[in-house]
Structure 1
């Protein structure tokens, strides 16, 4: 068998994508410094300097680790390690998460367009009050420099309640953990919390007016925007 024939069954190995490369390096830092649960990672600026990339790129790698539960990002404190990770396992879960994101978006699109249409038709004064409270809560989070995850969750739950459809509510509950992944992924991007808050305001206005067509259009635009995440666009480093 010739040398060429000997490699005919192999395919070219894919180079790791940039976010995988950065996640690996951050995990190597954790291992090298024997960090354990509760340990603080260096600030984004320091990590960016050490890794030779922008702070925005480091931020996306940290968001990916947060989605997987490896770290918890606390406003004003930084990234706190949740457990001692295994690099191979984390990278495998990260690839699974990335491949699952488009399907999560598709599921949200199918469910939440129906939810918001029904909400515009069926909302009560009590429903509108809960929607307003969710908007106010998210606005407070964002004004304080946070990402608004809790307010975002409250808003979408308030819309679901306003649809007065128990089956849709159960379906949203079923995919809740996966929606949380996409929520953290989206709101972790620069400028996204403010944009999402504005989109929520437009959706709420349409629901309040009982304009189900406008409500559906605004929700569709919102979900398409939040599905535009760096994790799905990142390219392999040269």
Structure 2
């Protein structure tokens, strides 16, 4: 960005430095969608590297990453570990921003639903789990740990772990209720695990839940799941950013 007192210089490639404001990432989303459209980019095309985009827009890498996650959960891009950011669709920026604002309203409800359902399921899993259930929980932990070690976010392993705990609860109705919100939970999972340091902390939370379930300690399993949901519910789309 320009030195203090100097005018902002135009960024190359049709992207302009942005003024800081609450929810700066929404401005980033709007510029990226508009720029992709003006550049003739379509499904399958890659966006420039994150470092380059951040410099062009005059924002931090954290704000840019937040915008890319917002585009990912609304189905506009796919952020692939080791393969960059790929466009899946090119909708109008107004539609994307409307979807993001609707999601902020939904996220609070999703978090409350998880607290009601998954805490109870963890306690039931501690009482009802079988050896097969424990084996699947361990396999999910191993899958997430391997992904995180290789630099990934661990989204697949995270999803598998929570599905394994749900199955171990042997409560069909609660399981069906979890299935009803699965897509929304997955979106919040992507947002959470995209934050720096979050995959490792989430994995540690999973291990605490698994340990309590293995020990047959229902109160400890419920407490561990409560702490875990509180951690992963801290997602950027529910808060103002500072650029």
TM-score normalized by structure 2?
0.89
- 1:90 alignment partner in structure 2: 96
- 2:9 alignment partner in structure 1: none
Q: Distance in 2 between matches of 1:16 and 1:29?
A: 22
**1:230 deviation in Å?**
1.6
- 2:61 alignment partner in structure 1: 55
The list of structure 1 runs, each at least 4 consecutive aligned residues, that deviate by more than 2 angstroms after superposition, is none
| 8 A Cα contact 1:19 1:231, kept in partner | no
- 1:8 alignment partner in structure 2: none
1:16/1:29 Cα in 2 relative to 1: closer, same or farther (>3 Å)? farther
| 8 A Cα contact 1:71 1:81, kept in partner | yes
Q: Which of 34, 43, 61 is the aligned partner of 2:49? A: 43
Higher mean C-alpha displacement, 225-234 vs 59-68: 225-234
- 2:187 alignment partner in structure 1: 181
**1:187 deviation in Å?**
0.6
**1:180 deviation in Å?**
0.7
**1:17 deviation in Å?**
2.5
Superposition RMSD in Å: 1.2
| Structure 2 unaligned regions, length at least 5 | 1-20
Trace 1:111-126 onto structure 2 (pairs within 5 A).
Answer: 111-126=117-132
- 1:10 alignment partner in structure 2: none
- 1:232 alignment partner in structure 2: 238
Q: Distance in 1 between matches of 2:94 and 2:63?
A: 21
**1:202 deviation in Å?**
0.6
Give yes or no for the alignment of 1:106 onto 2:103: no
Q: Which of 155, 159, 177 is the aligned partner of 1:153? A: 159
- 2:15 alignment partner in structure 1: none
TM-score normalized by structure 1?
0.91
Q: Deviations over 1:177-221 (max 9, x none)?
A: 111111111011111111100100011000000111111111001
Q: Deviations over 1:139-184 (max 9, x none)?
A: 0111111100100010000001100111111111111111111111
| Structure 1 unaligned regions, length at least 5 | 1-14
Q: Distance in 1 between matches of 2:185 and 2:23?
A: 24
Q: Deviations over 1:36-64 (max 9, x none)?
A: 00000111101100010111110010001
Aligned length: 223
Q: Distance in 1 between matches of 2:150 and 2:43?
A: 27
- 1:20 alignment partner in structure 2: 26
